[in-house]
Structure 1
Amino acid sequence: MLKRIRVEDVRLGMFIHGFAGSWLDHPFWRNRFLLDDPQDLARIRASAVREVWIDVAQGADVEPLAPVVAQADTGSDVPTVEVTPTAQRDVAPTSQAEELKRAARLLQSARNAIVDMFQDARMGRAIDREVMRAVADDVADSVTRNGGALISLARLKTADDYTYLHSVAVCALIVALARQLGLSDAQARAAGFAGLLHDIGKADIPLEVLNKPGKLTDAEFAIVREHPRKGWERLRAAGIDDETALDVCLHHHERMDGKGYPDGLAGEQISLVARMGAVCDVYDAITSNRPYKAGWDPAESLKRMASWHGHFDNRVFQAFVRSLGIYPVGSLVLLSNGRLAVVTEQSPSSLLKPIVKTVFSTRSGERVVPERIDLSAPGCTVTVVQREDPARWKIPDLDEIWSGIPGLRREYA
């Protein structure tokens, strides 16, 4: 028998079956466990969660006088966590600055969940589907509130965090792309869940190969090429029969010209969502710091991807560019007034006229006090002349300036 009770009535010896509320509101990555540690009890009571589900068949019951909010027969299919209907989710639009603060917390929490998932996979334990769906939904909510915040922060992952935060970044990118393509909310969230799980097969790659700081040998690359199929097998073994997740996991390395892997599919043989996954996977990979190279600038990355004929679906790629902007957040650009500026937000009226903050005067050769300029504002005569390579200018606090988050730094080669 499952019972939903207040956190004030939780005590040691109970079997926690789930938390009522968002996974971000509590500090645990597993929904089901025997509560036998006083520190865990204290963490539950100190969290934002106000009610939990307990399974009295596997642990202690509530005290006789304690109120029970709800109960259900465990013989029925009771969900491990409550899924909040989209209409009730926190998806009201927010400012870039506000969402960046929330996104920073979400990234850290999501990273921990993905680390747990990979560790479980390497140890042969099952993937916690409910936690992964909760993570994907919260990422989708963030993208809905403000499309650029989480995507921009996720790009700044360290080389050590790449494997884990790459999954979160692809989740966010594919949700934004799905919305740009006009897919439904349900389809966008399904794509996000798929993006979160797309690289689980990398749990089967030896760490010395996965984190190798140099070029892979042919034998090592052959091992890496197995990760889509290994991931597909892992998802199936975990009881995840979501066709979108399985498809993206297996086919996110296919190419439109048929030169991808593992099946060498071409053109329309590749599903729309797998084509979306391919674009998002590559973009995050080339813009992120890796053990063997520094990430490319966002605008430069889009330029290079556009030149890779036969690799991507052109319609999907163009939609992807529209979802990010010609000059994605974090791009360094030269303005017509001779100043360098970093892109902070996209303008809803023009892909070529983003909102920027000035950082340097090329005429005086000196730093300037950051000034926010909306290049699309009526009467604004300043325009973007060209993108600039951050590695050339080596402005150490560039990411701190566009994000407004103190101490946020990124090394450029």
Structure 2
Amino acid sequence: MIKRIPVRQLRAGMWVHDFNHDWKDPCCQDRDPNAFRGPKMVRTDEEVEAVIAHGIAELYIDTARGVDVEEAPSAAEVQRMLEAQLRDLADDDPDEMEREVPMEREIHQAAKVKAQARTLVGSILEDARLGKQVTLSPVKDAVRNMADSMFRNPDALLSLSLIKQKDEYTFMHSVNVGVMLMSFCRMMGMDEEEIINVGVGGMLHDIGKMRTPEGILNKAGKLTDEEFLIMKKHVTFSRKILSETPGIAEVSMHVAAQHHERYDGSGYPQGLKGDQINTFGQMAAIVDVYDAITSDRCYHKGNPPHLALKRMLEWSRHHFSIELYQKFVQCVGIYPIGTLVRLENGLLGVVSRPNHESLLHPVVMVIINGKTGQKLVPKEVNLMAYKSDPASGYYIKGHEDVTRWQVNPIDFLPNAKLYE
């Protein structure tokens, strides 16, 4: 049986199924030369001490292949608990954010401003690679355009960042972090100028990677100890570059300098803990991890959105502020746009837009009979219409793997071409 245990219960002779530490550095976790990889037997007390020293708080053991911990919960029990907790985080109170225009209208403008931001980020990162100073005004203009779109309808621009493509990770990760941070801030009621400054920080948070040798930055395999230390210096480089940028706001620098810090002090570069980390640094850490672990890389297969949120909920007990994590879930929804879900009646559908009256009842495009596997003529269903009629079966039972069903969620979204 697979069970979860706190690291203090780890003993020699246990078979570790999963070291459960993708939160550590999701941008290059699979290349960390010192990362622990499961499954494997922990054979010595020295190995146990090394796992503890790595900052791992909890892990999963296989009791059929090693020493047991009798009172530990099973992996299945943990997953049921996380699912229930995540659903409890869904805020069924009406969303107070105004939407001046419908998402269907704003999505076109949102796609335009995001494309402009992507081009700008590419140019800025290339200039940084060449050692040129960042010119802040075009970045603020781009972020202000994104903010204008977000104030007209926050769902449009956010949805474009929640749907992931496999190319141009370095550029699009920067834009996505900026967009999600802005949406996060807006949902928390921050004023427009603060949202813009945070967005600038998000767009430029990884600019220090341009000081990382390309052979290390784009290396598909595991890094050496020396290479990994160089990779981690990108945060320090980001802070230095931004500190030399005329007009940069302090909150922008907090985002760039602290997005790899962790709430329990296990992050870097300073090992800050709890409220030693600026609120915007804490928010950036959450957003950065979410975007990284939901993105496909040459060395990393992205998690489906709902699974990513469950894993982060588990990690938030140690590595993130649980209060801020809850706000983030309410921002993106517990079933983010593009999630393939199974309804209680057996139908499968792609979440096409949220319902802010209830995050548990989004609008879905029904596409497959999950009982027979038959592909259906896509049909839009607003689950809110069935909220008071649970016998209909039109409520979400769980999420599904798009690869198992050979589904590209983009194909079933309104204005699908804008997500490509």
Letter in 2 for 1:108: A
User: CA, structure 1 residues 216+150, in 2 after alignment: closer, same or farther (shift >3 Å)?
Assistant: farther
Cα gap change, 1:245/1:353 in structure 2, threshold over 3 Å: closer, same or farther? same
- Give the Cα separation in 2 of the matches to 1:326 and 1:360: 21
Secondary structure of 2:364's counterpart equals strand
Structure number with higher relative contact order (C-alpha < 8 Å, ≥ 6 residues apart): 2
- Post-superposition shift, 1:407? 8.7
Looking at structure 2, the residues matched to 218 and 94 of structure 1 have their Cα atoms a distance apart, in angstroms, of: 51
Counterpart for residue 386 of structure 1: 398
CA distance in 2, matches of 1:283, 1:307: 13
Q: Deviations over 1:81-113 (max 9, x none)?
A: xxxxxxxxxx96232222322222222221110
Of stretches 195-204 and 141-150 in structure 1, the one that deviates more from structure 2 is 141-150
Q: How does 1:223-372 map to 2 (within 5 A)?
A: 223-308=230-315, 309-372=317-380
| Residue identity opposite 1:130 in structure 2 | S
Q: For residues 205 and 155 of structure 1, what CA distance do their matches in structure 2 show? A: 27
Q: Structure 2, unaligned stretches of length 5 or more?
A: 1-97
- Matched residue, 1:174: 181
Note if contact 2:369-2:375 (Cα within 8 Å) is conserved in structure 1: yes
**2:103 aligned to which of 90, 96, 99:** 96
| Aligned AA (1:138) | N
1:404 equivalent in structure 2 = 415
Q: Please say if residues 355 and 384 of structure 2, whose CA atoms lie closer than 8 Å, have aligned partners that are also in contact.
A: yes
Inter-CA distance 299–157: structure 2 relative to 1 (3 Å threshold): closer
| Distance in structure 1 (CA, Å) of the matches to 2:274 and 2:173 | 26
SS of match in other structure, 2:125: helix
SS in 1 for 2:319: coil
Distance in 2 of aligned mates of 1:285 and 1:122:
22
How far did 1:387 drift? 0.9
RMSD: 1.9
Question: CA offset at residue 235 of structure 1?
Answer: 1.1
Unaligned 5+ runs, structure 1: 1-90
Q: How does 1:57-206 map to 2 (within 5 A)?
A: 93-206=100-213
Larger CA Rg, structure 1 vs 2: 1
Measured in 2, the distance between the counterparts of 1:172 and 1:356 equals 23
Q: TM-score, normalised by structure 1?
A: 0.73
| Equivalence for 1:213 | 220
For residue 117 of structure 1, report the CA deviation from its aligned partner.
Answer: 0.1
State the 4+ residue runs in structure 1 displaced beyond 3 angstroms: 155-160, 378-381, 406-409
Identity %: 37
Contact persistence 1:156–1:289 (CA under 8 A) = no
Matched residue type, 2:148: D
How many residues are matched?
A: 318
CA distance in 1, matches of 2:193, 2:244: 24
- Rounded Cα–Cα distance in structure 2 between residues aligned with 1:142 and 1:214: 39
Q: Distance in 2 between matches of 1:338 and 1:92?
A: 33
Q: Distance in 2 between matches of 1:192 and 1:348?
A: 23
> What is the CA distance between 1:157 and its match in structure 2?
4.7
CA distance in 2, matches of 1:407, 1:364: 32
